[in-house]
Structure 1
């Protein structure tokens, strides 16, 4: 089903998608479609409303630039800092098209922790404008069974452009899930 969408919407670009899962697997900085299967596309005003009225959980899916996470400590080894929407949790690399079992567990356990196990809690997932990481992460959260997934396609670019404040981001260590998830 998704392969048909990818072929129609991104003719000539279909090799960048997994034909089985429909996730974007390469060239993550490229134009995105208007919607994510299982998620609702939102604007800056919607983000503000959902944060205020529904106490939405904000998930920053921006990939980490650097040497990945340290396998012993779980701390992310960054070569570039990140600013994101205040109150967000930065879960690097959860928007990749294919996740290792460890990163899949990292994403699942952190979503569970952030929502306190409530799969109906509003989740706002974002990255940057024209970034498939947020798109993939939102699609994946919906596949995990979260029912109120919101995708903010403009991410920190739109937030900043509409005079939203940004704060320094610290990625959630991977070690937290390693202790719980083995």
Structure 2
């Protein structure tokens, strides 16, 4: 009986304290530059200059067409010149997403930087005010880096969905199989 009472009090204290993930995110400092390693680790609570959105807001933005979802999940590429992306298994993404792999790495090669720039230009028709919703997985810096990079390129309506494909799926929302945009043909 004492144990049950203690567990009840501990549970109540945890509820009153709020979600543990939020406190952990608040403790992650925002770097001056890009995250260069350990991309799958806790992220900051926000991306300065961008709107950080939760699942409900991400869904509303996507369903209304107010933001284009951009999946930046990392992929390997063939070592052949101009080689294709290697997709080892199906990857579920938010419906209507454009998958631009690896544009959230801390440092981009000139080829990958050009790929990112050309695709954002194509997808927005040059409209720097077009809503762009960057995501990856929960606890993944790839989307944070990509959003920061888009801001530095002059895009003004950058949205960061920090819960990513994980949060979307956990909410029971529909997904589709992702197909990465080839590097050679933006």
The TM-score range, normalised by the shorter chain, is 0.7 to 0.9
Given that 2:73 and 2:102 are in contact with CA atoms closer than 8 Å, whether structure 1 keeps it comes out as yes
For residue 44 of structure 1, the aligned residue among 28, 48, 55 is: 55
Change (3 A) 1:73 1:98: closer
What displacement does 1:10 show?
A: 4.2
1:161-180 alignment, distance < 5 Å: 161-177=170-186
Q: What do the CA deviations read for 1:32-69 (whole angstroms, capped 9, x no partner)?
A: 001112211001111122123343111001101x4x15
Gaps of 5+ in 1: 1-7, 178-182
Q: Deviations 1:142-169 (Å, cap 9, x if unpaired)?
A: 1110000000000011001111111111
Contact 1:90 1:169 in 2 (8 A): yes
Structure 2: how far apart are the matches of 1:69 and 1:144? 28
Q: CA separation of 1:69/1:103 partners in 2, compared to 1, >3 Å: closer, same or farther?
A: farther
Partner of 1:147: 156
TM-score, structure 2 as length reference:
0.80
Deviations 1:95-127 (A, max 9, x none): 000000110010011111111111100000000
On the 8 A contact 1:94/1:103 being kept in 2, the answer is yes
Note the aligned Cα RMSD (angstroms). 2.0
- Structure with higher Rg: it is 2
> Is the 2:71–2:93 Cα contact (8 Å) retained in structure 1?
yes
TM-score of the aligned structures, taking structure 1 as reference length:
0.81
Partner of 2:70: 59
Cα distance in 2 for partners of 1:145, 1:94 equals 16
- The alignment covers a number of residue pairs equal to 161
